């Protein structure tokens, strides 16, 4: 895999660490995924949930303090988002090999998401570097900006449009659900109330996801049949009315998005290429450069 550095601005440099930082991140992600395959999906989701709030600025990594209202406690993230310890480990290793904190937490998170996808059989892409870390977090914005599992298609399209992303980006990035699992609280309404779900599939899920809120909320189910492999089975599930969560199944509710779902279900090359392009676009959202942010020494705290 080729690692090429592309700075967002002329003031963004890794100095003498250019040739060491990226292989260090890749090795640490590989070890984390070796220990727990699900971690690859978790790191991808962590990056997504970072970028959709106030940009790809590592704000999601900040813990609460007297001045920080952590995004970790926002409803879409609480008891759900994970991978923080892996990012902490990567940061420590990169800083050690570089001799100082020259690589931002935002860049580490973006590269780790890419490397996770590659390790699980997905495409690679060139990650632009030079992001700075935010000085703030926004729990309220996390609540409103992060798409939740009950959203219908018009709302999803609107949320993506606000981030500068289009319908193709929505479908391609939703394909990230070819990896990982989801909690019962995210698909409970779907398996008990939705009509666009295969009855036998809904019945099988009810065994581990009771109808009463608060009962089994954190129980997990696979997002598709191959949760540790980047492939097109997620889209095949949608066509079979076997999407685990409502906001995935609705992708078939318009002609343009349904066409993409069908194409991605049988053409993995097109899906991989579109996913790659959309990940690059997402990685450009709200980037801080130069003096707009900082390179944190600890990803959980402002310097």
| Contact of 172 with 257, CB cutoff 8 Å | no
Tokens for 244?
Answer: 């685990």
Q: What is the 3-state secondary structure (H, E, C) of 133-194?
A: ECCCCCHHHHHHHCCCCCCCHHHHHHHHHHCCCCHHHHHHHHHHHHECEEEHHHHHHHHHHC
Annotated active-site residue 49? The verdict is: yes
Phi, psi angle pair for 64, to nearest 5°: -65, 145
Residue 173: Cβ-neighbour burial (10 angstroms; 0-12, 13-18, 19+): buried
Residues 6+ apart with CB under 8 A from 261: 171, 235, 238, 239, 251, 252
Long-range CB contact pairs, 216-219, < 8 A, 24+: 216/184, 217/183, 217/184, 217/185, 218/79, 218/183, 218/184, 218/185, 219/183, 219/184
Which is the catalytic residue, given 47, 49, 177, 246? 49
Question: 229: closest CA among 117, 112, 109, 115?
Answer: 117
Cα distances (Å, whole numbers) of residue 209 to 77, 80, 147, 268: 20, 16, 22, 32
3-state class of 129 per DSSP?
Answer: strand
Residues that are catalytic: 49
């Amino acid at each position: 895999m080729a690692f090429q550095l592309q700075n967002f601005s002329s003031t963004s440099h890794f100095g003498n660490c250019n040739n060491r930082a990226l292989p260090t991140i890749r090795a640490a992600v590989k070890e984390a995924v070796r220990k727990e395959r699900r971690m690859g999906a978790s790191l991808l989701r962590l990056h997504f949930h970072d970028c959709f709030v106030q940009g790809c600025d590592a704000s999601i990594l900040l813990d609460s303090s007297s001045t920080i209202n952590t995004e970790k406690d926002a409803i879409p993230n609480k008891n759900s988002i994970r991978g923080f310890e892996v990012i902490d480990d990567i940061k420590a290793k990169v800083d050690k090999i570089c001799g100082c904190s020259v690589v931002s937490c935002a860049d580490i998170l973006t590269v780790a998401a890419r490397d996770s996808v590659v390790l699980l059989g997905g495409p690679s892409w060139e990650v632009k570097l030079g992001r700075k870390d935010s000085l703030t977090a926004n729990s309220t914005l996390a609540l409103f900006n992060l798409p939740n599992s009950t959203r219908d298609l018009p709302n999803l399209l609107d949320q993506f449009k606000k981030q500068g992303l289009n319908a193709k980006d929505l479908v391609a990035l939703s394909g990230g659900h070819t990896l990982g699992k989801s909690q019962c609280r995210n698909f409970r309404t779907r398996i008990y109330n939705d009509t666009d779900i295969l009855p036998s599939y809904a019945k099988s899920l009810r065994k581990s996801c009771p109808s009463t809120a608060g009962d089994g909320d954190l129980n997990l189910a696979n997002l598709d049949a191959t949760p540790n492999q980047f492939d097109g089975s997620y889209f095949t599930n949608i066509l079979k009315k076997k999407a685990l969560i409502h906001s995935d199944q609705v992708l078939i509710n318009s002609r343009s998005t349904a066409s993409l779902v069908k194409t991605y279900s049988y053409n993995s090359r097109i899906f991989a290429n579109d996913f790659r392009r959309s990940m690059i676009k997402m990685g450009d959202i709200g980037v801080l450069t130069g003096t707009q942010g900082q390179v944190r020494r600890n990803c959980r705290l402002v310097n």
